[in-house]
Structure 1
């Protein structure tokens, strides 16, 4: 059994399963995944956000099961898996509450400038700056399904008005669904909660940042590839937007240019689901899926 995801810590699995963990303890490159698959020829893979394409699957003749440690399957070539008779599972435990809570915490930190205020006390400046207010702000939600919906519940209770963009959602209980351009040009705060695919890679680029309101705030706890980082850096440098809070990056661990903006960015190490018992529940269900899948394939586990 090969475990791609660097954050998997669950240990309560049958002794008959030999679990090979990600030796790099970070997101793997395609070449690294391929190297591990060829070296271990696993019966099953516990998948993170690394791409699992047909070439990688074919490099593991024994591969029978792929169990995604999470709800999104955007990184797995499901057509190839079906063709190769590989069962694909995902978890049903969605990290909607922890992801939504982190999103709201990030929004509040940006709006109320908590980093700057904390620094002013620690550096003995005691600057009692007037900050923004979340109440009455217009929040644009990109991706209005499980997690986006949970965010909408919380934002509604803060007295925010809500705009949403999601190609798969036409109507929503709390959110006024609009096209992306309208949402970008009319929102004070924009938060992303969408799976990543070829059709929305770098969904937010130079054009989209130019459309945003001056001083808009950006939050991404979803997928790093949804935002063109160069365009985001440019928008921050030119003060087109007021700040950004990012939990997910195309390259992790992150060592990129967003580190140059400590005053108006909040950067966290891909931890949206790491709260309460959610991570344990997700990892346990992933292992249960592996065991179920292998048994259905006739493997004695």
Structure 2
């Protein structure tokens, strides 16, 4: 029987599915260190991960490893050059979380614009003594301009929500989407610089790559409107968190909302010191239905990649499909 590692906690019924086909080593405790991960992968044929770093050194120490299934859309924790060099398949879990993440992104954007968290802290501190006409004046969502950076599935889901708020939608993407999609979403393609100048609310939903590192830094923040909001539901590292904290402190933009951070779970201490930012711990996909769908899809990918289950040999979401059917290289 083939051996697999499930690198972190997940739903027990997903483990039971995997046990039908594999000998399962399940880490139910704290996150594995790099050394622990390498050690436990040494005799494994496959792995189910949720952000653990899999690089050339890890792959070299696990000569039997043939498939690594990431329970996430993003896979910047995978060194895909190293995967391809040794014919190891990587998979991810797109689509099943689109609507839940878009819902949460919308909630963060509104919370930032309307100063929900800031005002709640003030109330809990016992500061509310009387009605004040100018207390916590925020920014409207309805009738404003939404700027979406990254017009993939989640970006398009956000644009659909904007219709109900009578918003103008501008977007920037590596390439323009099809004209029929632009027409359906009533979305206008603009340069990144134009988007930052135009938008009242900027939402980031682009993948993390080397090229996208610090897509939003001090120079980009300086282009934004003084009352604008910035929401990041993409990946840490896309925003220069230190530059954002300084822009928020100086009130060069109105507010921000972040679900992802550089070096998470560490959060830049300057972000913790400013009141005009909403901070959440990478939970945009955290509904039970969505997380179950992600876990089951990750299991489907792993089973199929290792030649088991109803989709044997045909994993639903291969990142590097060219290695399918090829022998593992040493």
> Do they fold alike, i.e. is TM over 0.5?
yes
1:148: Cα distance to partner? 0.5
User: Does the 8 A contact of 1:2 with 1:37 survive in 2?
Assistant: no
User: Does the 8 A contact of 2:112 with 2:255 survive in 1?
Assistant: yes
Give the match for residue 13 of structure 1.
17
Structure of larger gyration radius: 2
User: 1:177-203 CA distances to partner (integer Å, 9 max, x unpaired)?
Assistant: 111111111111111101100111111
1:38: Cα distance to partner? 3.2
User: 1:101-152 CA distances to partner (integer Å, 9 max, x unpaired)?
Assistant: 1111111112222224434544233444343221111111010010000001
User: Does the 8 A contact of 1:34 with 1:59 survive in 2?
Assistant: no
Q: Report the Cα distance in structure 2 between the residues aligned to 1:7 and 1:220, rounded to whole angstroms.
A: 26
User: 1:242-278 CA distances to partner (integer Å, 9 max, x unpaired)?
Assistant: 11111111222234321112x3111111111111411
Q: Secondary structure at the match of 1:225?
A: coil
Residues 1-301 of structure 1 correspond to what in structure 2 (within 5 A)?
1-4=4-7, 6=8, 8-9=10-11, 10-15=14-19, 16-21=22-27, 23-25=29-31, 32-41=33-42, 42-122=44-124, 123=126, 124-128=128-132, 129=135, 130-171=137-178, 172-173=182-183, 174=185, 175-257=187-269, 258-261=271-274, 263-295=275-307, 296=313
User: Does the 8 A contact of 1:68 with 1:91 survive in 2?
Assistant: yes
Q: Report the Cα distance in structure 2 between the residues aligned to 1:78 and 1:169, rounded to whole angstroms.
A: 26
- The normalised TM-score by structure 2 is 0.81
Q: Secondary structure at the match of 1:13?
A: helix
1:294: Cα distance to partner? 1.7
User: Does the 8 A contact of 2:51 with 2:77 survive in 1?
Assistant: yes
For the aligned residue pairs, the C-alpha RMSD in angstroms reads: 2.3
User: 1:64-106 CA distances to partner (integer Å, 9 max, x unpaired)?
Assistant: 1111212233332333223312122222443111111111111
Q: Report the Cα distance in structure 2 between the residues aligned to 1:57 and 1:193, rounded to whole angstroms.
A: 30
User: Does the 8 A contact of 2:9 with 2:29 survive in 1?
Assistant: no
Q: Which deviates further from its counterpart, 250-259 or 62-71?
A: 250-259
Q: Report the Cα distance in structure 2 between the residues aligned to 1:47 and 1:244, rounded to whole angstroms.
A: 30
Q: Secondary structure at the match of 1:288?
A: helix
The alpha-carbon distance between structure 1 residues 92 and 191, as it changes in their structure 2 partners (threshold 3 A), is closer
Q: Report the Cα distance in structure 2 between the residues aligned to 1:7 and 1:147, rounded to whole angstroms.
A: 26
Q: Secondary structure at the match of 2:265?
A: coil
- The normalised TM-score by structure 1 is 0.88
User: Does the 8 A contact of 1:51 with 1:75 survive in 2?
Assistant: yes
Q: Structure 1: which 5+ residue stretches go unaligned? A: none
Q: Report the Cα distance in structure 2 between the residues aligned to 1:290 and 1:141, rounded to whole angstroms.
A: 33
User: 1:6-58 CA distances to partner (integer Å, 9 max, x unpaired)?
Assistant: 56344333434323327433xx7xxx335422344122122323442223211
User: Does the 8 A contact of 2:6 with 2:24 survive in 1?
Assistant: no
- Write out the 4+ residue segments of structure 1 that deviate beyond 4 Å after TM superposition: none
Aligned residues: 291
